[in-house]
Amino acid sequence: MMKTESSFVGKKRDALGDGEKMIRKKCCRRPTKHRSPSTIVQQLYDTCREVFKGPGTVPPPCDVEKMKLVLDKMKAEDFWISKDLPFFNSDNASDGTPRITYATIYQSENFSLCIFFLPQKAVIPLHNHPGMTVFSKLLLGSMHIKAYDWVDPSKSDDLVPSSEPRLARLEVDSNFTASSGTSILYPTAGGNIHSFTALTPCAVLDVMGPPYSKEEDRDCTYYKEFPYSNFSESATEVKDDCSYGLLKAIDVPNDLKMKPVEYMGPQFVETC
């Protein structure tokens, strides 16, 4: 069943707005080209059903490549997204913090599809994806992505995040545009803990399998980053040619504003 709220912030309702629905005329503009967006959205849904087998599984390389081939060719107009959408208006920042809007396209036990709309300078802070494989495709604009993996991944599945800072390896620290390829992260690799900073108004599609679920111990944890300095006791693990940071689990940032809206883009046929 399609849901109007994403599990990405399932336990963090205080960070959300009141869930107002989009006005159809403003949120979706039908493409002027003859290409049918619903065809590629249907292909995305069908591929997700093939690739994601449920909690506790990670797609094999052949399935990862299959998903990447579909996402790499996706564009903003495939979802009737344009830079004129009201979500990209930074005037919604009453206290200087731009509000992020998101629309859940689909969610099941095995995977979810969600689009995040970030005004310029909006930030989704460092957060993790426990036990999840995530494909992120920037559809519009440019953003900076910073991502870490734990140096000791054996503790990455701890149900209660440690209150002490943990050593993490910097995996990604780059700018991305809509022409960039799909970013992929895994349960313990590929930059499982990442942040998004909008350099311009952005729309990013997240494909997550399995989705967040507090009931199944896949809740979202946010982190604060501290500079890495002398960490001599783990010198055997640390290489001079890598960058590191210390990450500490924190409560949901007070200035994080995320508002769910109804998905009003191209439809697709759900199959059993």
* pLDDT recorded at residue 149: 97
Q: Which residue do the tokens 């440690």 mark?
A: 162
Using omega within 30 degrees of 0 as the cis cutoff, is the peptide bond preceding 55 cis? no
CB 139 within 8 A of CB 77: no
pLDDT of 156-208, one tens digit each? 555 556 678 999 999 999 999 999 999 999 999 999 999 999 999 999 999 99
* pLDDT recorded at residue 23: 31
pLDDT at 20 over 80: no
Mean pLDDT value of segment 241-257: 88
pLDDT at 244 over 50: yes
Give residue 268's identity as a one-letter amino acid code.
F
* pLDDT recorded at residue 163: 74
DSSP string for 124-148: EEEE--TT-EEEEEEEESEEEEEEE
Q: How many CB atoms lie within 10 A of CB 5?
A: 16
Q: Please give the model's pTM, rounded to 2 decimal places.
A: 0.82
* pLDDT recorded at residue 73: 95
DSSP string for 80-108: T--TT-GGG-GGG-TTS-PPEEEEEEEE-
Task: Return the minimum-mean-pLDDT range out of 27-41, 185-199, 234-248.
Answer: 27-41
